[in-house]
Structure 1
Amino acid sequence: VVLLMAILSTVFNIVSPKIMGKATTKLFEDLMLKFQHVPGAAVDFNYILHILYILAGLYIASAFFGYLQQYIMASVAQKTVYDMRQDINLKLSRLPLKFFDARTHGDILSRVTNDIDNIATTLQQSLTQ
């Protein structure tokens, strides 16, 4: 699902400049006809406005799919991190006391916290890029 959202967001971002090119080309052609004093030549603002509406829709769709992708990945990452923290808590509660005596309290907390935070960051950012 997330991959589909990323693809849709990217496709809409890629198509948008091509659509903008149509509006620019039409405006340029109409202006050239006007400068050449062709009778009845005028800029077709209705056509350009129609293209701009399509362009706005594409950018809104791209932003929506990008947001949805990030939202889903954040949810997945948070759920995964939550499950991992629970598993680590269960593992730490089953370890013998000599394990804790051999290591400093800060070292254990630092490893658990930093490693899981690194995994969460990787899940949220790297997988969607």
Structure 2
Amino acid sequence: MNLPAEKSLNFTASGKRLLGKLRPERLWLALVFALAVISVTFSVLGPRLLGEGTNLIFSGVVSKSLPSGSSQADVIAGLRASGDSTQADMLSGMTLTPGLGIDFAMLSTVLFWALALYVLSSVFSWMQAYVLNGVVQRTVYRLREEIAAKINRLPLSYFDKKPRGELLSRVTNDVDNISQSLQQSLSQVVTSLLTVIGVIVMMLILSPLLALIALVTVPLTLVITAFIAKRSQKLFVAQWANTGELNGQIEETFTGHALVKVFGR
């Protein structure tokens, strides 16, 4: 009964309790998720349009170098007849107009829509951050109210046995960490997960083989991340345990120095 309380390392249980604090904001969280989906969708489609713009430029440069008056089929047939099947295969996958250069009108249209997608993505991302900030601040406000109510219910004997600095660290530093974690983690988890899904889908659409090669490195990344997280969790807990002890020492030794002098100590 007299042993000091152990610091909980059960992330699952703590995470469930923390998510329970967000239950009153579930409708706003649904809006945050919807805004994140729209923002990520636009940001993923942007590179696709830029790729179309690159194709227009490359096709225009190649078309300019081909003899005017001939068709794309005639040029490809001539290359195959001369034994240059590699270049013929490359040209067969393009849309060419021999003798003409870059279609700047079409290129301008593509770039305009790409710019519009990126602007819309930024707008929806800002809206998501704005709504999420309100959700987090209201949640932390309710949490601070609960902490204040709990402190008011505690007997005076508790405060006599507890260093004031440690109590202040719990009320200020720990709650600030929760606020910062909710603000950053919720947004990053949702956005990153949706971005990964969107990018994988786009990669599979463009080239399944290249997508498979790129995804081979994902398990290695997950293993490294899990290894680092396992080591950093203990250090993070130790860091804030030491912060509480330091705050307690400062409060008792320096901030309370004037009070000690009053008692002639």
**Normalising TM by the smaller chain, what interval?**
over 0.9
Which of 62, 65, 75 aligns to 1:32? It is 62
Q: CA deviation at 1:63?
A: 0.6
Q: CA deviation at 1:37?
A: 3.6
Equivalent residue number for residue 57 of structure 1? 116
The number of residue pairs the alignment matches comes to 129
Say whether the 8 Å CA contact 1:5–1:66 is kept in structure 2: yes
Greater shift after overlay, 63-72 or 49-58?
Answer: 63-72
Q: Which has the higher contact order (CA 8 A, sep 6+)?
A: 1
1:7 matched to 2:37:
yes
Q: CA deviation at 1:12?
A: 1.1
Equivalent residue number for residue 97 of structure 1? 156
Greater shift after overlay, 50-59 or 5-14?
Answer: 5-14
Task: Please identify runs of 4+ aligned residues in structure 1 that moved more than 4 A.
Answer: none
CA-to-aligned-CA distance 1:76-122 (integer Å, 9 cap, x gap)? 11111111111111111121100100111111011111221121112
**Any idea what SS the aligned residue of 2:68 has?**
coil
Which of 166, 179, 195 aligns to 1:107? It is 166
**Any idea what SS the aligned residue of 1:128 has?**
helix
TM-score of the two chains, using structure 1 as the length reference: 0.93
**Any idea what SS the aligned residue of 1:43 has?**
coil
Equivalent residue number for residue 81 of structure 1? 140
Give unmatched runs, 5+ long, in structure 1. Answer: none
Equivalent residue number for residue 22 of structure 2? none
Q: CA deviation at 1:38?
A: 2.0
Counterpart amino acid of 2:146? D
Larger-gyration structure (1/2): 2
CA distance in 1, matches of 2:166, 2:181: 22
CA distance in 1, matches of 2:171, 2:49: 50
CA-based RMSD of the aligned residues comes to 1.2
Give unmatched runs, 5+ long, in structure 2. Answer: 1-30, 70-98, 189-265
**Any idea what SS the aligned residue of 1:38 has?**
coil
**Any idea what SS the aligned residue of 1:27 has?**
helix
Equivalent residue number for residue 125 of structure 2? 66
**Any idea what SS the aligned residue of 1:127 has?**
helix
Counterpart amino acid of 1:97? L
